[in-house]
Structure 1
Amino acid sequence: MPWSTPTLRDVRTLVRDAVNASLPGADANIPNSVLRVMSDNQGALCHLTLQYVDWLSLQLLPDTAETEWLDRHGDIWLANADGSTGRKMATLATGTGQFQGTIDGTVIPAHTQLQTGVSLPSSVTGSINQLVGFETLEDITTSAFATVEGPIRALDPGSFGNLPDGTEMDMPVVVPGVSSAAFAFGLHGGTGIETDDQLRARILQRIRNPAMGGSQADYVTWALAVPGVTRAWAAPEQGAGTITVRFLMDDLRASDDGWPTGTDINTVDAYIEKMRPVTVKDCYVLAPIKQFMDITIANLVPDTAEAQAEIEQSIRDMLFQVAAPGQTIYAAWVSFAIMNAPSVISFNLVTNTDFVMPSLGHMAVLETILYE
């Protein structure tokens, strides 16, 4: 039968009974007696030990382990693309800065700092503006007649260092002979530290799919080892002897439904090329192909903005769990997701046909939800 930890009251009773059995004529149940106090204190200490064993049992398996112990499981099971083991650490965004000199030949020293304001998520206000720092990586000789470029990187790791091309940056300490305004190009590669849920999923995926020297599951494991990659799939889409790896970066590319850029694809492809066996004829690393879903709902009760927002989030959560390249999204799944929205009482799903993907590479993405 399964183990059940006794309560503190039960443990105290067990200790009193043991004392009574060991000392004929003694009664450890008399209130405020020495035996009663000593028995209850011993019972409390024993109960603390049982509680520790309870907690320890949760740490012994990765599906219930807490952060510190989860990191230990990760160090045992996982290898990352950067040569580390365990949790994927946050990385620095790197790219190119464009500078304009006012005096020809002026040198911008290496490690000259730059900064720009970015909008970061906030649990209180929704977003907050914050200055993000960057630095030059080498001496850059400027020209008064044309812009010059040089390598730069973020000072702090995280996705907030990834800036759109052309973002303007300022020099907190102006270099004489150089315009204080600079522009960023190709700043990418910054990722946040891997969360407990993401690390736990990778550990379980690795345990459930032992390394086989090039199985489909191995390709998924290799893709997930790259910083920023949160979901990956592998299948012989191009026929026997080939493998196609598709992946998403849900956090890093959240503004584009998690879809990777060309640079991201090249990074994952380079790592898989180092790991995969040479016996595979062709290996393709690609982004899934977006297949947009338009959903129409009628007679929603209650028809409120709050209910509509809950429905959208519930459908997105459902797609996060079940959507995959080539995976049909069944109308029943959509209905279930809508009904799971906390405020929803009733509705009619007008688009009640299944969303079939046109190819093995297409993947469902929510586009619009219309209400009638």
Structure 2
Amino acid sequence: MPFTRPTLAQLRNASAQQLNASLPGADALLRFSNLAVIADVDAGLACMLYGYLDWIALQCTPFTATDEYLEGWGALKNITRKPCAQATGSITFTGTSGYTIIEGVPINRSDGVAYVSTSAGEVVNGSVTITAQAVADPAGLVGANGNCPAGTQFTLANAIAGIDSTGTAATDFTGGADIEENDAYRARVLLAYQNQPQGGDSTDYVEWALGVPGVTRAWSTPNGMGAGTVVVYIMLDVANAAEGGFPQGTNGCAAEETRAPPATGDQLTVANAIWPVQPVTALVYVCAPTSQKINVAITGIAVEYQAEVNAALAAQLQADGAPGGEVIVAHLWSAVLSVPGVNDFIITAPTVDIKLPTGALPVLGTVTYS
């Protein structure tokens, strides 16, 4: 039977009753009694201690532990919190042919966020394109803020002869991710406790992929590219929010894999992370799911609730979605019904569960209200 923590009011009353019982003739319940003040102080201290005991109880299991205590539970399974990851991309500068930009040049985004060049380049036909990476601030927290779309303006922090000071992002800057939050980290820790390593079973591949900074969802499919292959699908819902969470790169294998073409971008990052721990005989492909829009038609929803209904449907598709899985209509009804104030509606489409094509991940399409 769970222990019920007494409230502050209950503790105050109990303390006053105890004083009355211990001091015959005294009345600690009187409003201006000194004993009433003493009872209230004693109750306040007891309430604080009860709160501390509650907090200790939370840290005693990975299911409710937080911060460094959760990291301690994770360390027992060799699951560490994902650190902040910095965004990367490329920038084009104009200049005089023959002049160069070296690696390590400081560059500032238009809003002051710092980057640094990670490759050298020579101006040819009036322009040069170099790769760059966001620079972590002293707390290492640039993370997702380093992501930005192609066309973003950049400026050289220091003048370089023959190079114009202002440049433009030639590609999207992607891959930036904040330090893993407690809830996401706890899910990985619990997954490790619930699923013991099996030397390369389906869950192992999911755990390895989820351990990469920025990856929020992952699935594995055996023999997805033929006998002896493993296909790992990944999503980066926060780091690549501008792209709907879908990985930016091309599908393929790790850079050291010689039996198939290497991946690029986010897929290569994950493939390279899985390479050292995967079974040596497995041919592992890391892939981006394809987007499968699910259009929904609903009657009976007032205008003021429609934005919340859209958000609930999108969240439900994300929670249930798996590449090549199934969209369950009953779950869509439950999602709409969960919106406060909504209780009389009909989903007119879809009317039957939808089986998705191989590798397709459901996303919310057009929601039609009538």
TM-score, normalised by the number of residues in structure 2: 0.80
Instruction: Give, in whole Å, the separation in 1 of the partners of 2:68 and 2:128.
Output: 46
Shift of 1:228: 0.8
Deviation at 1:167, TM superposition (A): 4.1
2:177 to 191, 203, 213: 191
- Give the alignment partner of residue 112 of structure 1, picking from 105, 118, 121: 105
Q: Hey, what does 2:91 align to over in structure 1? A: 97
Distance of 1:7 and 1:358 partners within structure 2: 52
Aligned amino acid, residue 319 of structure 2: Q
More displaced, 41-50 or 195-204? 41-50
1:1-372 matches, within 5 Å, as: 1-8=1-8, 11=11, 26-27=23-24, 30-31=27-28, 42=42, 44-79=44-79, 85=80, 87-102=81-96, 105-108=98-101, 111-117=104-110, 130-137=111-118, 140=120, 142-143=122-123, 145-156=125-136, 157-165=142-150, 167-186=152-171, 187-236=173-222, 238=224, 242-262=229-249, 263-280=265-282, 282-298=283-299, 300-302=300-302, 304=303, 306-372=304-370
Shift of 1:105: 4.7
Name the residue aligned to 1:121. none
The alpha-carbon deviation at position 219 of structure 1 amounts to 0.8
Shift in Å at residue 327 of structure 1?
2.3
Shift of 1:315: 0.1
Against the structure 1 CA distance between its residues 296 and 19, is the aligned structure 2 distance closer, same or farther, given a 3 Å change threshold? closer
Inter-CA distance 269–17: structure 2 relative to 1 (3 Å threshold)? same
Q: Answer whether contact 1:223 1:232 (CA < 8 A) is retained.
A: yes
Q: Report SS of the residue matched to 2:164.
A: coil
Structure 1: stretches of 5+ with no match in the other structure = 80-84, 118-129
SS at structure 1 position matched to 2:108: strand
Paired with 1:49 and 1:261, the residues of 2 have a C-alpha distance of 50
Query: Could you say if the C-alpha distance between residues 237 and 258 of structure 1 is closer, same or farther in structure 2, counting changes exceeding 3 Å?
Result: farther
Q: Give the direction of change, closer, same or farther, for the CA distance of 1:28–1:191 in structure 2 (3 Å limit).
A: farther
Equivalent residue for 1:122?
none
Structure 2 residues without counterparts, runs of 5 or longer: 137-141, 250-264
1:16–1:28 CA contact under 8 A, matched in 2: no
Offset of residue 220 of structure 1: 0.7
CA distance in 2, matches of 1:59, 1:28: 45
**SS of the counterpart of 1:274?**
coil
Secondary structure in 1 matching 2:58? helix
Contact 1:115 1:132 in 2 (8 A): yes
Q: Provide the residue aligned with 2:257 in structure 1.
A: none
Is the 1:142–1:178 contact (alpha carbons within 8 Å) kept by the matching residues of 2?
A: no
> What is the total number of aligned residue pairs between the two structures?
345
**Once the 2 structures are TM-superposed, how far is the Cα of residue 13 of structure 1 from its aligned partner?**
6.5
Gap change, CA 1:185 and 1:43, over 3 Å in 2: same
Q: Distance in 1 between matches of 2:298 and 2:42?
A: 63
**How far did residue 161 of structure 1 move?**
2.5
**Cα distance in 2 between the residues matched to 1:111 and 1:254:** 28
AA partner of residue 239 (structure 2)? L
C-alpha change, 1:294 and 1:167, in structure 2 (3 Å) is: same
Identity of aligned residues (%): 34
Cα displacement string for residues 145-167 of structure 1 (whole angstroms, at most 9, x for unaligned residues): 44234342222432332344454
Letter in 2 for 1:333: H
| Alpha-carbon displacement from aligned partner over 1:170-229 (angstroms, at most 9, x marks no partner) | 235433432123233454322222222211221122221122221211111000001110
Preserved CA contact (<8 Å) 2:232 2:287: yes
Q: Is the partner of 1:148 in helix, strand or coil?
A: strand
* Cα distance change of structure 1 residues 327 and 17 upon mapping to structure 2, 3 Å threshold: same
2:3 counterpart letter in structure 1: W
Read off the aligned partner of 1:198 and give its amino acid letter.
Answer: A
Kindly state the Cα deviation for residue 308 of structure 1 after the two structures are TM-superposed. Answer: 1.7
Q: In the alignment, is the contact (CA less than 8 A) between 1:167 and 1:184 conserved in 2?
A: yes
TM-score, with normalisation over the residues of structure 1? 0.79
Q: Distance in 2 between matches of 1:340 and 1:35?
A: 50
Task: Please say if residues 174 and 239 of structure 2, whose CA atoms lie closer than 8 Å, have aligned partners that are also in contact.
Answer: no
Go from structure 1 to structure 2 and tell me whether the alpha carbon gap of 1:292 and 1:146 turns closer, same or farther (over 3 Å shift): same
CA distance in 1, matches of 2:233, 2:25: 68
